[in-house]
A and B are shown apart, each in its own frame.
Chain A
Amino acid sequence: MAAKADKTAADRVELLHGTLDLIVLRALATMGPLHAYELASRLEQVAEHPLMLNQGTLYPALVRLEQRGWIKGTWRQTESRRDAKYYALAPAGKRAVEDQAARWRRLSVFVDKLLTDDV
């Protein structure tokens, strides 16, 4: 158990600042409303490399997105009849996904270019 944890820590990818927002938005866009635990599990599933995601770090991202009016949280019951706050994409959030995606594509092209060009 302990050995496994050490190995994953070495392989973990530090999340680039600002990427978490996009990841959350994309997850909500594709999966529909999710609560924080579901989101965290989902992110751990999709990542090719295990993400260095402290599950708690989701919360500041969620409140940030909620303040921008991109997502909206509502209290509902889970299948296991437990109260949980479900986050859904707001209309403004749908547009934001597009914008943010385009922005990151631009950046990744730029970074790619930096890395592949002769330097």
Chain B
Amino acid sequence: MRRFFDRVLHLLRVRRPDADLARELDAHLALLQESYQARGLSPDDARRAARMALGGVAQVTEQHRDARSFRWLEDALQDAAHGARLLRRSPVFTITAALSLAIGIGANTAIFTVANSLLFRPPTGIAEASELIVIGSARGDGGLNPLPYASYRELASRVTSVRAVFAEGLFPRVMGLARSTAVSAEAVLGHSVTTNYFAVLGVVPARGRMFAEGDRSAAVLNHDYWTRRLGGDERVLGGTLQVNGQPVTVVGVAAPGFQGTGIRASDLWLAIGPEGGGSVVAGARLRPDVPLAVAAAEIAALGDAIARDRGVAPQQANRLNALPFSRAGGNRNVVVGFAGALMVLVSLVLAAACANVAGVMLTRATARAREISLRAALGAGRGRLVRQLLTEMLVLCLIGGLLGLALAQIVLPAAMLVLPPLPSSIVVPLTIDWRVLTFALSLSLGVAVIFGVLPALKSSRVDARGVLEDGARSASGRSRLRSAFVVGQIACSVLLVVLATFFVRVLRHAGGDDPGFQVRGVDLATIDAGVPGLGPDRAALWRTVLERVRQSPGVERASLARVPPGGFEGIGVGEVAAGDQPGTSPMFKPGWNVVDTGYFATLGIPILAGRDFQSTDTAASPLVVVVSETLARQLWPGRAAIGQPMRLSVVTGDPKGPLRLIATVTGVVGDIRSSSLVDGMADPYVYVALAQSEAIGNGMTAQMSVVARRRGAAALTGTMATLVQAIDRRLVLANAQSLSDAIALGLTPQRILATICGVMGLIAVLLASMGIYGVTAYTVALRRRELAIRLALGAPRSRVLSLVLRQGSWLVAIGLGIGLTLSLGAGQVLSVFFYGLPAAHLPTLLGTASLFVVIGAAASVIPARQAVGDGWRRSLQED
């Protein structure tokens, strides 16, 4: 410790010790000169002789400085060079080890790169992002939901612990933008923000100005959009654009690079006028002296006070909370959870790779026992030996780390290609910054230390005399450690294989086999009529849209739905119960959907009883509903559901409580399973007719999707876009994709999990078989003489063979036991998230077990056969 301190001191203050040395050397020279003069030399000769005896002041100073500061570095470089030499001498080992480490480190780094972009790397163009926070209403899982605009206004006027509060819409929305009323609109992503948004974020204008207090119907353009689509036309500034048919004044262009705060790039920002609107996400800039926790506490208290003032019961009020600002916004915890889960998965492979490398290192340490004990005999301290072995591991891990970084850079863009097409472009820059570098390097160093220390300690503990005198015979401790590594490896790979099959089952059950509707040949087009500027008579708009689509020659059938399958499984509107008497039967919370006539036929959902909605079901006629098979069974077990009365309790946001209605069941349709939910556990579903949807609350039909089945092979998305613009040239499609793409997009997390588990499982199985092979070959080598003696004494080959195989089987058995136990535990945890999927799936477990038994046998048979092969006689004559 003192030495370290000294060195740091030396490094920091080079001048003082140099001056000290100069003084010391002066004294030395003077004394030497005196002694030479005493022997009779002239003063000049004496001075020259003294200098010669000392050997050059400059050289001494240089040597002195080296000794002072860089000895440790020299040691480390020596060790590294020695390690590199050893690694070069066994290229096969080095390449496999470095590659397997690279896969583990690379996979972790790739995941971290994405998480880094979402969580830590501030979006471009924002000043001092570390001071920013995001505010919303607290969600049970630790995330944030948007809050009403009115609450934001009140919060902004009362909060004191932050410098300023701003608000923005939850997402940018697709809007129709035209340079004049005479041309058709093009779809752009527009984001509604408060007028202080840019000021608080610290975004500067590239042209014109940012929003100012009191701006209405004003827009700021994205620099990228302005140059790309408007040709960088300066005349746009101060002029008017038509956004959703409303004139908007362009006040400025934001600084290049600024795309917004979230993961979707906005083409333009619209000022939220003082009248405000809807739900918003709030953000704020902290005062320099106020920590996040203090601000969050004040915001939560203010949120409670606002709720109290409005007379909302405390248990019903949504508490406000603040989180650090990031691209992930209020979904920070979701990103952390998912990235964490992925990292745990790929770390299993990293652990398996490290166990493999550490195992081989141990074996080689045994082979090097002579070298090591010689060095110990020559006085190399144990610490120095441990350091040397560790350095070797470190060199290997650093090579692996660097390769891993490169691998991550290759894998990430490739993974992006495999993902289903995204409905809008996202901004998640996947660049290596210092955080990614730090992560990859500390991960490499970390695994080097964790997996290097134990083998290094074990190997450096040598009985110098013993080994030198009669060669290495007993290395049972090391062999045990190596076996433990192999057991760990097998356990990791078993876990990965079981998890991979788990997620594959999730994918299959989630819709691949029988989602309850026909996925192929259906296209979706979403129209957002909730954007400002469209007339209030949406019912007429929807009627026209559907009529035109149905008349289109490429369309076989078409209908409209609030939420088509894929992505969301219905929306939460409220609860339902059987019968018309309140309190007589339990309430259910089904998925809700608003659909037009012909929806079931378009998607191929079978009508099991009763009828579909008809044109006679109107706002004026009695309220009817169609229920899914599961809901019918739950509400009226063993009875026909058709004609039964059903109580609806619809949440409207009215403080007086939910809206209560009675409806009659007019049809029962088949269950659908399209998103993450699993077999046998289809969500209960209730469908309401579009024509009657006003009855269950306004705003439900502000956005609808056209669901159209193609007649031919050509996709209808283009046709529908043209059709919609022909109806109203201000209208654009908010989203257009095929149903299968939409479903694939909804299943992306599961697909990522299944793919990663599958690939990693395969690699882990390979590593495990290498490990089993290695450990068997190693024991065979150690016991070569013993086995040869057995054979010489007449033991049958099969007996000796089974002796060797027994060891491998033990390792596989123990590893399997641990791995299967772990995967049962993991299955329990996962079945909570993917309910309906059994935690233990017997065929999977049996299949995995037999896979590893086969691998274990195959990997240990080769070295075992060598032991009893024809060469055994020779081993008797050796030594």
Residues of A within 8 A of B (CB): 35-37, 40-41, 54-57, 59-61, 63-64, 67-69, 78, 80, 82-85, 103-104, 106-107, 110
Q: Is B382 an interface residue (CB 8 A)?
A: no
B543 is an interface residue with CB less than 8 A from chain A: no
A55/B31 in contact, CB under 8 A: no
Whether B27 lies near A69 (C-beta < 8 A) is no
A69 to chain B, nearest CB (A): 6
Judging by beta carbons under 8 Å apart, are A55 and B32 in contact?
Answer: yes
Chain B min CB distance to A38 (Å): 8
Interchain CB contact under 8 A, B63 and A59: yes
- Chain B residues in the interface with A (C-beta under 8 A): 2-3, 6-7, 20-21, 23-25, 27-28, 30-32, 34-35, 53-57, 59-60, 63-64, 66-68, 71, 377-379
A36–B28 contact, CB under 8 A? yes
Residues of A within 8 A of B6 (CB): 67
Given contacts A37-B31, A54-B54, A55-B32, contact A107 B67 (CB under 8 A): no
Closest to A39 in B: B28
Smallest CB gap from B23: residue in A: A83
**Candidates B7, B24, B56, B379; contact of A85 at CB < 8 Å:** B24
Partner of B21, one of A41, A54, A59: A59
Choose among A59, A68, A106 the residue that contacts B3 (Cβ–Cβ < 8 A).
A68
The distance from the CB of B45 to the nearest CB of chain A, in whole angstroms, is 10
In the docked arrangement, what's the CA distance between A69 and B1, Å?
Answer: 10
Q: Which of A40, A64, A83, A110 contacts B71 (CB 8 A)?
A: A64
A84 to B34 alpha-carbon distance, docked (Å):
14
Q: How far does the alpha carbon of A57 sit from the alpha carbon of B378 in the complex, in Å? A: 24
26 pairs of residues in contact across A and B, judged by CB atoms under 8 Å: A35-B28, A36-B24, A36-B28, A40-B53, A54-B54, A54-B55, A55-B53, A55-B55, A56-B54, A56-B57, A57-B55, A57-B60, A57-B63, A59-B25, A60-B64, A60-B67, A61-B67, A63-B67, A67-B6, A67-B7, A68-B3, A69-B3, A78-B31, A82-B30, A85-B24, A103-B379
Closest 10 CB pairs of A and B: A54-B55, A56-B60, A56-B55, A60-B67, A103-B379, A37-B31, A60-B63, A84-B27, A56-B54, A63-B67
Collect the chain B residues with CB atoms within 8 Å of residue A63's CB.
64, 67-68
Cα A66 to Cα B1 in complex, Å, equals 13
Residues in B whose Cβ lies below 8 Å from that of A68 = 3
Asked if B59 contacts A56 (CB within 8 A), the reply is yes
Interface of B: prevailing SS: helix
Which of B31, B32, B71 has the most CB atoms of chain A within a 10 A radius of its CB? Answer: B31
Chain A residues with CB below 8 A from B59, complex form: 56
Q: Check A55–B64 contact: CB distance below 8 A.
A: no
- Separation of A107 and B378 alpha carbons in the complex (Å): 6
Cβ distance B310 to chain A, nearest Cβ, rounded Å: 71
Q: Are A56 and B56 in contact (CB under 8 A)?
A: yes
CA–CA, A68 and B28, complex, Å: 23
Complex Cα distance, B24 from A40, in Å, reads: 14
Please report the C-alpha to C-alpha distance between residue A107 and residue B2 in the assembled complex, in whole angstroms: 29
Distance between A1 CB and nearest chain B CB, rounded to angstroms: 10
Q: Is the CB of B379 within 8 A of A55?
A: no
With the chains together, A60 CA to B34 CA distance in Å?
A: 24
Contacts of A85 in B (CB 8 A): 20, 23-24, 27
Interface of A, secondary structure class, is helix
- Bound-state CA distance A60–B67 (Å) is 5
**For residue A107, which residues in chain B have a CB less than 8 angstroms away from its CB?**
377-379
Q: A55-B54, A57-B63 are in contact. Are A67 and B68 (CB under 8 A)?
A: yes
Q: When the two chains form their complex, are residues A59 and B378 in contact, meaning their CB atoms are under 8 A apart?
A: no
A110 CA to B374 CA, complexed, in Å: 10
In the complex, chain B residues whose CB is within 8 Å of the CB of A56: 54-57, 59-60, 63
Which B residue's beta carbon lies closest to that of A41?
B35
| Given contact pairs A103-B379, A110-B378, A82 touches B27 in the complex (Cβ within 8 A) | yes
Select one of B23, B30, B32, B60 contacting A59, CB under 8 A.
B60
B53's nearest neighbour on chain A, judged by CB, is A55
| Contact between B28 and A67, CB atoms less than 8 A apart | no
Q: Is the CB of A84 within 8 A of B24?
A: yes
Do A55 and B28 have beta carbons less than 8 Å apart? yes
With CB as the reference atom, state the residue of chain A lying closest to B378: A107
- Interfacial chain A residues near B20, Cβ < 8 Å: 85
How far does the alpha carbon of A55 sit from the alpha carbon of B379 in the complex, in Å? 27
| Cα–Cα, bound, A59→B379 (Å) | 24
Q: 11 new A-B pairs (CB below 8 Å) besides A56-B54, A56-B56, A84-B28?
A: A55-B53, A59-B25, A59-B63, A59-B67, A67-B6, A69-B3, A80-B34, A83-B27, A84-B31, A85-B23, A110-B378
The smallest beta-carbon distance between B12 and chain A, in angstroms, is 15
Q: Which residue of A lies closest to B3 (CB)?
A: A67
Which residue on B lies nearest to A69, using beta carbons? Answer: B2
A35-B27 contact given A60-B67, A67-B68, CB 8 Å threshold = yes
**Closest approach, in angstroms, between the C-beta of B9 and any C-beta of chain A?**
11
- Whole-angstrom distance between the alpha carbons of A27 and B780 in the complex? 54
Max chain A C-beta neighbours (<10 A), residue from B2, B35, B53: B53
Residues in chain A near residue B66, CB distance under 8 A: 60
Residues of chain A with a CB closer than 8 A to B30's CB: 82
Distance of A119 Cα from B21 Cα, bound (Å) = 48
Q: Which residue of A lies closest to B63 (CB)?
A: A60
Q: Could you tell me the distance in whole angstroms from the C-beta of B613 to the nearest C-beta in chain A?
A: 89
Note all chain A residues with C-beta closer than 8 A to B377: 106-107, 110
Evaluate contact between A82 and B31: CB separation under 8 angstroms: yes
Please, which residues of chain A bring their CB within 8 A of the CB of B23? 83, 85
Expressed in whole angstroms, the Cα–Cα distance for A7 and B71 within the complex equals: 35
Residue of A nearest to B20 (CB): A85
State the Cβ distance, A23 to closest chain B Cβ, in Å: 16
Bound complex: CA of A78 vs CA of B66, how far in Å?
29
CB distance from A80 to the nearest CB of B (A): 8
Across the interface, which residues of A come within 8 angstroms of B378, CB to CB?
A: 107, 110
Measured CB to CB, the nearest residue on chain A to B468 is A110
A14 to B32, CA, bound (A): 22
A82-B30 Cα distance, complex, nearest whole Å: 9
Q: In whole angstroms, what is the CA distance A67 to B7 when docked?
A: 8
Taken together as a complex, chains A and B put the C-alpha atoms of A6 and B289 apart, in Å, by 76
- B3 near A37 with CB under 8 A, answer no
Q: How far apart sit A18 and B67, CA to CA, in the bound complex (Å)? A: 13
- B59 to A, closest residue via Cβ: A56
Which B residues are CB-close (under 8 A) to A37? Answer: 27-28, 31-32
CA distance A59 to B21 in the complex (A): 9
Q: Bound complex: CA of A41 vs CA of B50, how far in Å? A: 12
**Of all chain A residues, which has the CB nearest B30?**
A82
Chain A residues lying within 8 Å of B35, measured Cβ to Cβ, are 41
Alpha-carbon distance between A36 and B28 when the two chains are bound, in angstroms: 7
Contact check, B27 vs A59: say whether CB atoms are below 8 A apart.
no
A55 to chain B, nearest CB (A): 5
Q: Please, how many angstroms separate the alpha-carbon atoms of A54 and B60 in the complex?
A: 10
In Å, the complex CA distance between A55 and B56 comes to: 10
> Chain B contacts of A84 at CB under 8 A?
24, 27-28, 31
Q: Which residues of A contact B2 (CB under 8 A)?
A: 69
Shortest C-beta distance, A65 to chain B (Å), equals 10
Would you give the shortest CB distance from A83 to chain B, in whole angstroms? 6
Q: How far is the CA of A41 from the CA of B28 in the complex (A)?
A: 11
CA distance A61 to B21 in the complex (A): 13
B381 to chain A, nearest CB (A): 9
Across the two chains, which residue of chain A brings its CB closest to B24?
Answer: A85
> In the docked arrangement, what's the CA distance between A54 and B32, Å?
13
Shortest Cβ distance from residue B647 to the other chain A in the assembled complex, whole angstroms = 85
- Chain B min CB distance to A37 (Å): 4
**Closest chain A residue to B464, Cβ basis:** A106
* A99: nearest chain-B partner, CB-CB: B379
A55 and B55 alpha carbons, distance in the complex (Å): 7
Contact flag A64-B67 (CB < 8 Å), given A54-B54, A55-B32: yes
Q: What is the CA–CA distance of A13 and B35 in the complex, to the nearest angstrom?
A: 24
Interface centre among B21, B28, B63, B64 (most CB of A within 10 A): B28
What are the residues of chain B within 8 A of A61 when measuring CB–CB?
Answer: 67
Which B residues are CB-close (under 8 A) to A110? 377-378
Q: Tell me how far the C-beta of B14 lies from the nearest C-beta in chain A, rounded to whole angstroms.
A: 13
